[in-house]
Amino acid sequence: MVSLENKDRWMHKNYWKTLGIIIMLYVLIGGMTVPLKPGLEEVYGVNSSVKPGEKIALTVKGYNTHFDIAEDNTAFLKLNESHFLKSSKIVSSEGQKLKIDFEIPAEMINKVGLDPLTLVVTNSIDGYALQPNAVSIKWVVLDTNLISSNTGKWALEMPKVNQNSQFAFPYRNILNETIRNTFFHVALWLAMIILLLAGLYHAVKYLRKKELRDDYLSASYNTVGILYGMLGLVTGSIWAKHTWGTWWTTDVKLNMAAIGMLIYCAYLILRNSTNDFERRAKLSAGFSIFAFVAFIPLIFVIPRLYDSLHPGNGGNPALGGEDLDSSLRMFFYPSIIGLILLGVWLATLKYRSMKLENYLYSKK
């Protein structure tokens, strides 16, 4: 029967559907228009490592910066929490570029090894921007006769760093503007998990009560979850092209995700392999449980056992620090909620179409 059951009436309510649309409009408009904080896009001038006592000249290319109009540009190299080196000369060049000179002190020349230095550039307009591992210093024993007498010294207190009060998303090296994909690629996968979990719930419920309503709901949620997963693979591939330079890699996270989606695609094939409603429902419910149980280790467990380019694996953190600061959270979490609501809406449409299909089939 196509007539509405009392427990299905919530599907025809409009308030939660409207809420989903409003949330996604908020994410799309705000997520695409909020600017990025100033950052350092590239650093030129140092091929590998420098030695104590040497002078270096860096050319820095900024992003969303105002080096040309700021009158208080300052730069320093940070060795650790106790040693800082201020630039000996800094000059703006070609708008968002700076030419910066440093004189590396000859102190601590008995230290052995290679230490990365973080470059920090600050002014009153942009606040601060930094480039981790901009320069590496190689500690060697030097001939003190070759050291320039005006070589500076490591400061024990960090120079003044300006703060930027502008509401903006964090600038992350390599990611640049693609950090906005967090609202879509990552949110799609998290929403997908919720939808597949709903599909699992109704599959188990069908095996217990043998009601076709649960089979239809399980299939509906799984179908939309698979759609979200495919969109997640596409958005991830686009992201990989812009950050890693290739559409796909042999990265374990990507491959496990692809295998997981292939398992769920097999669910769709299995479901369409028979027209017997009860037999199809039993097969679908059993395979839905298997697919979900296999999918979770594939995307959450196995990738964490290996090194990975993908955030969240092999010691590479995800959803932490500036990868998901307070400004990003204002759009990321609503995006998950909005995608879940839209996904449930799509699932209800699929569910109603399956009920109609069953009704028409019974009339033949």
For the segment 79-104, what is each residue's pLDDT rounded down to a tens digit?
888 889 999 899 987 778 999 999 88
Helix, strand or coil for residue 51? coil
Q: What is the pLDDT of residue 96?
A: 86
Output the average pLDDT for the chain: 86
Choose between 13 and 231: higher pLDDT.
231
Average pLDDT rounded to a whole number, residues 56-73: 91
What per-residue confidence (pLDDT) applies to 251? 84
pTM for this prediction = 0.84
Looking at residue 322, what is its pLDDT? 53
149 or 44, which is more confident?
Answer: 44
pLDDT at 147 exceeding the cut of 90: no
Distances (CA, A) of 259 to 150, 255, 262, 290: 61, 6, 5, 14
Is residue 272 within 8 Å of 354, Cβ to Cβ?
A: no
Q: Which domains does the chain have, with CATH numbers?
A: 6-35+175-362 (no CATH), 39-146 (2.60.40.10)
Average pLDDT over residues 113-122: 88
Tokens of 361: 């089939």
pLDDT at residue number 48: 67
Residue 140 has pLDDT above 90, yes or no: no
Region 13-25: mean pLDDT is 94
Span of 147-156, 300-309, 344-353 with lowest mean pLDDT? 147-156
Q: Is 263 helix (H, G, I), strand (E, B) or coil?
A: helix
Arithmetic mean of pLDDT, 142-150: 53
- What percent of the chain has pLDDT above 70? 87
